[in-house]
């Protein structure tokens, strides 16, 4: 594959660090952008093909200078960054002649209207609309919105779907809804593969997963490994959603009470498009998925 210059914005977070590793492993030249004054750079590996550049995400000149000569930009800002936080980065990418922009998606299906209407995705939806306008006006510019579903390893570590560490879980709607899920390594490899398939992946959502699982299946896998009982609470996604909206009505909403719950709704509730099986792009990107033994071996790391 031809080596490209790829910039990662929000490079020092959960998604950015493994992405840097896979891009470097594939022979690309990587620029990690971090905010001026951030100490995040200390988390990055040292590598001859990795440059670290401090930028001001509100300054078009700061970003354009940093992006000069790059073919691709991957935005990995966290989900809680405010609406419009990717706009200047997108503008600077156009000015610098970048050809492929990956908005900070990397989750559930923002092309599904119920999912897109969740307030936690307002920034993602705004960025997609902004990108589509820029792509129309600039023929050399394109985007890919990569949807891997819930992060599998991150989700097990952070008790997003079930908590293997404490053998406990809140089960939503009975726990049998299948959802797509992908490890950070596979997501990062998918980004590398998209750069090798620019034509087929331009200006659209792309769907990948390592596996489709349910909450109950994850618990069954864990039980098979260590035989321990689980402490389960039961609720519904509709009540989680209602409580989150109640919290959002408050003058100072507590993100703990609406952010995680609404993200869980986007994965675990029916009608939000969380199972990508019917429109999967794994084959195009060379993603093989995980079998039961691989899933069990991953689960064992978090028990
Ligand atoms: N599907 C899933 O289960 C799942 C889970 C987690 C995340 N995600 C998605 O993955 C993407 C990246 O999320 P993440 O959790 O990796 O991000 P993160 O760790 O929250 O943040 C990434 C980096 O962004 C920078 N940053 C923080 N606040 C910022 C701001 N206001 N403006 C600009 N930069 C800021 C920081 O880097 P510096 O300090 O170095 O500037 C930070 O290390 C998002 O699109 C998110 O929705 C999906």
Distance 174 CA to ligand 1 centre (A): 31
pLDDT band, very low/low/confident/very high, at 1 (cuts 50, 70, 90)? low
What the chain holds in terms of domains, given with CATH numbers, is 5-147+183-206 (3.40.50.720), 151-179+211-300 (3.90.25.10)
pLDDT band, very low/low/confident/very high, at 2 (cuts 50, 70, 90)? confident
pLDDT tens column, 199-232? 999 999 999 999 999 999 999 999 999 999 999 9
Task: Write down the mean pLDDT value for the chain.
Answer: 97
The mean pLDDT value for 71-96 works out to 96
**Which residue of 7, 15, 50, 75 sits with most ligand 1 atoms within 8 Å of its CB, as the best mutation to test the pocket?**
15
pLDDT tens column, 229-262? 999 999 999 999 999 999 999 999 999 999 999 9
Beta carbon of 107 within 6 Å of any ligand 1 atom: yes
pLDDT band, very low/low/confident/very high, at 88 (cuts 50, 70, 90)? very high
Cα–Cα–Cα angle for 43, 209, 162, rounded to 5 degrees: 70
The mean pLDDT value for 106-134 works out to 97
Maximum Cα–Cα distance for the chain, whole Å?
58
Report the distance separating Cα 229 and Cα 301, nearest Å.
18
The mean pLDDT value for 160-181 works out to 98
Phi-psi region of 20 (alpha: psi -120 to 50; beta: other; left: phi over 0): alpha
Kind of pairing, strands 29-35 and 5-9? parallel
The mean pLDDT value for 61-66 works out to 98
The mean pLDDT value for 13-31 works out to 97
Contact indicator for 10, 76 with CB cutoff of 8 Å: yes
The mean pLDDT value for 140-154 works out to 98
Beta carbon of 186 within 6 Å of any ligand 1 atom: no
Residues belonging to the chain: 303
Distance 104 CA to ligand 1 centre (A): 8
Query: In the block, which residue shows the tokens 């200390």?
Result: 42
Ligand 1 atom with the shortest distance to the CA of 81: 31
Ligand 1 atom with the shortest distance to the CA of 103: 45
Distance 65 CA to ligand 1 centre (A): 22
Distance 10 CA to ligand 1 centre (A): 6
Distance 188 CA to ligand 1 centre (A): 14
């Amino acid at each position: 594959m031809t080596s490209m210059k790829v910039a990662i914005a929000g490079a020092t977070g959960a998604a950015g660090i493994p992405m840097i590793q896979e891009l470097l492993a594939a022979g690309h030249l990587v620029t990690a952008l971090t905010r001026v004054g951030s100490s995040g750079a200390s988390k990055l590996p040292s590598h001859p093909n990795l440059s670290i550049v401090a930028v001001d995400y509100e300054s078009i000149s700061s970003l354009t200078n940093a992006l000069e000569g790059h073919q691709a930009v991957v935005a990995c800002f966290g989900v809680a960054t405010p609406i419009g936080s990717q706009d200047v980065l997108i503008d600077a990418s156009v000015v610098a002649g970048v050809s492929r922009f990956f908005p900070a998606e990397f989750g559930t299906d923002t092309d599904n209207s119920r999912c897109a209407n969740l307030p936690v995705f307002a920034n993602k939806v705004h960025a997609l609309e902004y990108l589509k306008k820029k792509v129309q006006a600039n023929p050399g510019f394109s985007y890919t919105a990569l949807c891997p579903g819930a992060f599998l390893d991150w989700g097990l570590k952070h008790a997003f779907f079930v908590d293997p560490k404490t053998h406990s879980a809140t089960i939503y709607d009975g726990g049998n809804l299948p959802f797509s899920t992908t490890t950070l390594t596979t997501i990062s490899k998918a980004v590398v593969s998209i750069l090798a398939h620019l034509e087929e992946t331009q200006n659209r959502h792309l769907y990948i997963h390592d596996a489709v699982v349910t909450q109950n299946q994850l618990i069954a896998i864990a039980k098979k490994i260590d035989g321990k009982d689980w402490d389960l609470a039961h609720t519904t996604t509709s009540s989680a959603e209602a409580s989150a909206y109640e919290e959002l009505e408050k003058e100072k909403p507590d993100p703990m009470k609406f952010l995680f719950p609404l993200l869980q709704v986007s994965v675990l509730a029916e009608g939000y498009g969380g199972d990508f099986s019917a429109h999967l792009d794994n084959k195009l990107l060379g993603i093989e998925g995980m079998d039961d033994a691989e899933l069990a071996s991953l689960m064992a790391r978090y028990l």
